[in-house]
Amino acid sequence: MSNLSQLIKNEFIKLHHYKSTWVMYIIIAILLIGVAVITNFVANQSMIIDATFQSELVQAYESMGLEIPAYDMWAFVADNISLISFITIFIIVAAAKIISNEYKWGTIKLLLIRPAGRGTVLTSKYITVLLFAAVLILYTIILSMLIGLIFFGVDTWNPTIVDNTGSGYTEISIIASIGKNILFSLVPLIIVATLSFMIAILFKGSAMAIAASIVVFIAAPIITMMVSQYEIAKYLLTAHLDLQNIFAGSPLIEGISPGFSIAVLIVYYIIFMAIGWLTFKKRDVAGN
Amino acid sequence: MTEIALELKNVSKRIKNKEIIKDVSFQIKQGEVFGFVGPNGAGKTTTIRMMVGLMKMTEGDIRIVGKSIQTDYSAAIREVGAIVENPEMYPFLTGRKNLEQFARMIPGISKERIEEVARLVGLEKVINDRAGGYSLGMRQRLGIAQALLHKPSILILDEPTNGLDPSGMKEIRQYIRTLAEKEKVSVIVSSHLLSEIELMCDRIGVIKNGALIAVEDVEKNRKLQDSDISEYIISVSNAQAAKECLHDMDDSLFVETADETTLKTAIKREQIPAVLKELLNNNINVYEVLAAKGTLEDKFFDLIGENVIE
């Protein structure tokens, strides 16, 4: 067990020696500051409120006798949760590189001739990828809270908003709403990161893994639409990545329930993991 | 009885019905330096990959200090330090950070051990530089340092002097000998340069087309060469006349004409002056006398024949 934590430490050290990793942190910071500046100086408040609060939502507020909240730090954080899509792409790259770089440098041989065993080595890499995702998300949240605080201030520390939870509009805590959105973005993140990880193991390179995973992630609606007339579309991974809409009752394919989506995602996840792990454990490591 | 450090038992490897390694068996004793020679593509690296578990064998077993690499991998590999093919490292980390990475993979390696190993291979001056900027010689040293960190019983070095300058080669050779003699580490060195191997090994295994075709004892070979009778090649004006003349002198001598002006003979060193005197007295001019030592190099080429990859 301590061996696994040592291996994860190794992976984190390597990961944070890549320039591209620091570029990821910087890009997120620049995006957050950019969004804050644009929101604060260019766009005016009522415009944002008009864009976010469609008439339906405004009615919901009015019917509950609540005031439409001003744009503050919480609203800023809630808006920036969409940056997790960005982070997902970074994680796809990190998951592919963490495998392919070892093959590129030939260090895979040195990693595998240790008492830890192949399974532990691969597990440490996978856990590192997930931890890195957690770090990036946490970084985004903390940074956007700070920036939000500076630019927009804060009214209360636990405000409530009205949101569509799938079964109509209800009043919920904004923190719960943010948490729910993070969870909905985290699931596709983990699935495509695992896909990228698996393809990188299969091909010992990152190009195919990154390309395929990004296509699956970004073009999911298009791919699903292209095959939507066939029954099989229902079982396609791409039909189940937008959990937000699936739980809100408007899936890409008619008649998909949240339960069915989760089941399909779990099956895909298990397949990706099994292929990746078995290939890595069984394969002869020969010259590149 | 000396302990067996490594044992290969009837190891075979088939890839798509093609037999890459054919029934290879040998043993290496503790503190022995074993050379593994063969032409390119003979199966040296494949055999080494199987020894460290990077490749699975189709048949047979490899035991390291009695532990099977197949069924008791962790315990077996704990005893092994290796460089497979090239000395690999993380180019963006310093030498020290690289060693720290490898130290973390095996429990129980102290900071002092890292310093000690770096000093041992002569890297202490550049240990804080990025490994990406190392010369090939420094990379070899870092590779050896990495392999030695956990004090293995067996050191496997694939082409360790590849790309080193002559002084670097000599240093590595001496270093390998020291390790074997002082620390009782068994060393397996592979190379396609026989002269290199000959200088540092106790025994040499010759591999060709995936089969181990000979195991030579270097020490014994050396003694054989120094023994009384050696072969000499003598350039003369008339080989046939010279042959008859020497037969007249002593008909037990082995004399043979190679061509019209070259004579081959197997005599004792002390006999050379007498032979020459006899030839000159019979008006046969002598231009050159060469000792044709039956070196391992010749034996090697006799064994492997032409470098044919089947």
pLDDT in tens, A214-228: 999 999 889 888 888
Best B40, B70, B77, B104 member to test A by mutation, with max A CBs in 10 Å, is: B104
Chain-chain contact of B85 with A110 (C-beta, under 8 angstroms): no
Nearest to B56 among A115, A117, A284 (CB): A284
Asked if residue B171 and residue B87 are part of one domain, the reply reads: yes
Chain-chain contact of B104 with A9 (C-beta, under 8 angstroms): yes
Q: How many CA atoms lie within 13 A of A211 on its CB side?
A: 5
By CB neighbour count within 10 A (0-12 exposed, 13-18 middle, 19+ buried), where does A155 fall? exposed
Euclidean distance between CA atoms A216 and A201, whole angstroms:
18
Q: At B212, which CATH number?
A: 3.40.50.300
- Whether the model clears a pTM of 0.90, i.e. scores above it, the answer is no
Domain C-terminal end among B223, B249, B280: B223
Asked if residue B163 and residue B97 are part of one domain, the reply reads: yes
Residue with tokens 């295994």: B205
Asked if residue B209 and residue B79 are part of one domain, the reply reads: yes
Q: Name the band, by pLDDT with cuts 50, 70 and 90, for residue B310.
A: very low
In chain B, what residues touch A113 (CB-CB under 8 Å)?
52-54, 77, 80, 82, 84
Asked if residue B147 and residue B239 are part of one domain, the reply reads: no
What DSSP element (H or E) covers B166?
A: helix B166-182
Name the maximum alpha-carbon separation found in chain A: 70
Mean pLDDT of B75-101: 92
Chain-chain contact of B104 with A10 (C-beta, under 8 angstroms): yes
Question: By C-alpha distance, which of A28, A27, A36, A39 is closest to A141?
Answer: A28
Angle among Cα B65, B157, B37 to the nearest 5 degrees reads 100
Q: Are B47 and B212 in contact, with CB atoms under 8 Å apart?
A: no
Could you tell me the CA-to-CA distances from B20 to A165, A283, B43 in Å, in that order?
63, 17, 7
Chain-chain contact of B84 with A113 (C-beta, under 8 angstroms): yes
* Residue A42: Cβ within 10 Å count: 8
Helix (H, G, I), strand (E, B) or coil at A265: helix
The type of residue at B283 is N
Tokens representing residue A43 in the block: 């766009």
In chain A, what residues touch B75 (CB-CB under 8 Å)?
115
Q: At B272, which CATH number?
A: 3.30.70.1650
Asked if residue B170 and residue B282 are part of one domain, the reply reads: no
Q: What is the pLDDT of residues B263-280, one digit of tens each?
A: 888 787 778 888 888 888
Q: Are B95 and B118 in contact, with CB atoms under 8 Å apart?
A: yes
Closest chain A residue to B101 measured between Cα atoms? A10
Q: How many domains does chain B have?
A: 2
In chain A, what residues touch B55 (CB-CB under 8 Å)?
284-286
Above 80 in pLDDT, residue B288? Answer: yes
Closest chain B residue to A287 measured between Cα atoms? B85
Whether A113 maps to a domain, the answer reads yes
Whether A287 maps to a domain, the answer reads no
Above 80 in pLDDT, residue A124? Answer: yes
Asked if residue B80 and residue B26 are part of one domain, the reply reads: yes
Chain-chain contact of B97 with A2 (C-beta, under 8 angstroms): no
Asked if residue B216 and residue B69 are part of one domain, the reply reads: yes
In chain B, what residues touch A107 (CB-CB under 8 Å)?
88-90
Helix (H, G, I), strand (E, B) or coil at B18: strand
Chain-chain contact of B105 with A17 (C-beta, under 8 angstroms): no
Whether B56 maps to a domain, the answer reads yes
* 3 state SS for A17-65: CCHHHHHHHHHHHHHHHHHHHHHHHHCCHHHHHHHHCCHHHHHHHHHCC
Above 50 in pLDDT, residue A1? Answer: no
Q: Quote the domain boundaries for residue B52.
A: 4-223
Whether A155 maps to a domain, the answer reads yes
Could you tell me the CA-to-CA distances from B153 to B52, B69, B179, B187 in Å, in that order?
13, 14, 10, 9
Q: How many domains does chain A have?
A: 1
Q: What is the pLDDT of residues A190-213, one digit of tens each?
A: 999 999 999 999 999 999 999 999
Tokens representing residue A167 in the block: 């079964």
Residue with tokens 């890297």: B123
Helix (H, G, I), strand (E, B) or coil at B153: coil
ipTM (interface pTM): 0.84
DSSP string across A201-245? HHHSSSHHHHHHHHHHHHSHHHHHHHTTTSGGGGG-GGGGS-HHH
Q: Do β-strands B203-208 and B211-217 pair in parallel, antiparallel, or remain unpaired? A: antiparallel
* Residue B220: Cβ within 10 Å count: 10
Best B105, B134, B144 member to test A by mutation, with max A CBs in 10 Å, is: B105
Q: What is the pLDDT of residues A258-275, one digit of tens each?
A: 999 999 999 999 999 999
Asked if residue B93 and residue B165 are part of one domain, the reply reads: yes
Q: Name the band, by pLDDT with cuts 50, 70 and 90, for residue B289.
A: confident
What DSSP element (H or E) covers B168?
A: helix B166-182
Whether B302 maps to a domain, the answer reads no
Q: Quote the domain boundaries for residue A273.
A: 2-282
In chain A, what residues touch B93 (CB-CB under 8 Å)?
13-14, 17
Asked if residue B55 and residue B165 are part of one domain, the reply reads: yes
